[in-house]
Amino acid sequence: MAKDNVLVEVNNLTKYFPIGSGGFLRKKVTELKAVDGVTFAVHHGETLGLVGESGSGKTTVGKCVLQLHRPTSGEVSFKGKNLVDLTDKQLRPFRPKLQVIFQDPYESLNPRFTAYDIITEPLRLHHATKTECRNRVKELLDIVGLAPYMAERYPHEFSGGQRQRLGVARALALQPEFIVCDEPLSALDVSIQAQVLNLLDDLQRQFGVAYLFISHDLSVVRHISHRVAVMYLGKIMEIAPRDALYDRPLHPYTQALLSAVPVPDPKV
Ligand SMILES: Nc1ncnc2c1ncn2[C@@H]1O[C@H](COP(=O)(O)OP(=O)(O)OP(=O)(O)O)[C@@H](O)[C@H]1O
Ligand SMILES: [Mg+2]
C-alpha cells in the first residue's frame, strides 16, 4: 500500500518493565522486555490483526500506540506526528481520534454514570449541545444495537455483551480514526460475537476507521483483518496480508500457531 496512506506508523518500539529480583536486600533490578523492537504500520481504513500467545506483548503494544503506556524507546506516529515526543497536554487534541475497546469495559465505566452520561461525556468535553447529545446517543445506541431506553441504565444493569456495546458506542462518540480493539469479543457469547464483528466491519466501511485488532482467536482475526502480525516474546515474527499468512505461513512459530487451530469450513 502507498506510504501516503499510512495512518499509524510504529518504529522500533520497545517497552521494558522493571522487575525486582525478590529479596529486599538485593537491590539489583532487571527488566522484562514486554515489547522488544516492534515495527509496523496501519493504513487508513485498514484492520491489522495482532495475534500471539498470552504474555507475548499484544496489549502492551496497543497501550504504547495510544500512549496509555509511554514507550521505553521507539516512535509512534499518527498522521506523521510522533506522539512519543508529546506531553500529556499536547496529546489531548489527538485523544478523540485514537480510541480503545477492551474485553470488558466494566472497569473503565463510571458506575455512578448512566449509559447516557457515559456516551455523552466525551461529547460534552467537546462542547456538544443538549440536542446534539440526545440525537447522538440515540444514533449510537442504534448503531451498536442497544434499545433507546437503556440510556437511563447504569453499567451494572447491563449484561457483559450489552456493556461491550456500550463501550463501542462510547469509543465511537467522537468519530475516531483509529481504534485499538483488545480482545473485544472474548467475553461475549458466540452468537453475539458475530454481530459485534459485523458491527465493527460496518463501522469501518461507513466511517473509514482503522483497527488494530488484538486477539488470540485466529479465526476471528482471519475474518476481520486485511493484514495480520504475529507476536512472540515481545517481537513480531511475521507480518503479511491475511490470506498469504494463513495459506502460506513462513515463520515456524506462525505455522505452529496455525496448526493448533481447527480449520473452519469455508462452506459454513
Ligand atoms: N504494567 C506492567 N508491569 C509489569 N509487567 C507488565 C505490565 N503489563 C504487562 N506486563 C508484562 O508484559 C508482558 C506482556 O504482557 P501483555 O499484557 O502485553 O501480553 P498479551 O500478549 O496482551 O497477553 P494476553 O493475551 O494474556 O492478554 C507479560 O509478561 C506481562 O506480565
Ligand atoms: Mg492482552
pLDDT digits (tens, 9 = 90+) for 130-167: 999 999 999 999 988 899 999 999 999 998 778 888 98
Task: Output the pLDDT for position 196.
Answer: 83
Residue at 162 is within a domain: no
For residue 50, give the ligand nearest its CA: 1
Q: For the segment 49-60, what is each residue's pLDDT rounded down to a tens digit? A: 999 999 999 999
Q: What is the CATH number of the domain that holds 63?
A: 3.40.50.300
191, burial (CB in 10 Å: exposed 0-12, middle 13-18, buried 19+): exposed
Residue at 251 is within a domain: yes
pLDDT of 120 > 90? The answer is: yes
Q: Best substitution site from 31, 59, 66, 213 to test ligand 1's pocket, by max atoms within 8 Å of Cβ?
A: 59
Residue at 16 is within a domain: yes
Q: Which residue has the cell 539489583?
A: 28
Return the amino acid letter for 46.
E
pLDDT of 257 > 50? The answer is: yes
Residue at 28 is within a domain: yes
Ligand 1 pocket check for 30: Cβ under 6 Å: no
pLDDT of 211 > 70? The answer is: yes
Q: Is 98 helix (H, G, I), strand (E, B) or coil?
A: strand
Residue at 46 is within a domain: yes
What is the distance in A from the centroid of ligand 1 to the CA of 157?
A: 30
pLDDT of 191 > 80? The answer is: no
Neighbours of 34 (CB within 10 A): 22
Ligand 1 pocket check for 167: Cβ under 6 Å: no
Range(s) of the domain holding residue 93? 3-108+176-259
pLDDT band for 253, please (50, 70, 90 cuts).
Answer: confident
Cβ 264 vs Cβ 249: under 8 Å: no
pLDDT band for 268, please (50, 70, 90 cuts).
Answer: very low
Residue at 195 is within a domain: yes
Residue nearest to atom 31 of ligand 1 (CA): 55
Distance, CA of 56 to CA of 254 (rounded, Å): 13
Query: What is the mean predicted confidence (pLDDT) over 20-31?
Result: 67
For residue 231, give the ligand nearest its CA: 1
For residue 53, give the ligand nearest its CA: 1
Between 19 and 231, name the one with better pLDDT.
231
Residue at 115 is within a domain: no
Helices (H) and strands (E) in the chain, counts: 9, 10
Residue at 153 is within a domain: no
Distance, CA of 75 to CA of 39 (rounded, Å): 9
- Number of domains forming the structure of the chain: 1
Residue nearest to atom 12 of ligand 1 (CA): 34
Query: What is the mean predicted confidence (pLDDT) over 110-138?
Result: 92
Ligand 1 pocket check for 15: Cβ under 6 Å: no
Cβ 51 vs Cβ 228: under 8 Å: yes
Ligand 1 pocket check for 58: Cβ under 6 Å: yes
Q: Within its chain, how far is the Cα of 80 from the centroid?
A: 20
All cell numbers assigned to 232: 512472540
Q: For the segment 27-42, what is each residue's pLDDT rounded down to a tens digit? A: 667 899 999 999 999 9
Q: Which residues make Cβ contacts (< 8 Å) with residue 63, sequence separation at least 6? A: 69, 180
Ligand 1 pocket check for 184: Cβ under 6 Å: no
First-to-final CA distance of the chain: 31
Residue nearest to atom 25 of ligand 1 (CA): 54
Ligand 1 pocket check for 52: Cβ under 6 Å: yes
Ligand 1 pocket check for 34: Cβ under 6 Å: yes
Cβ 180 vs Cβ 100: under 8 Å: yes
Task: Output the pLDDT for position 128.
Answer: 87
Q: What percent of the chain has pLDDT over 90?
A: 63
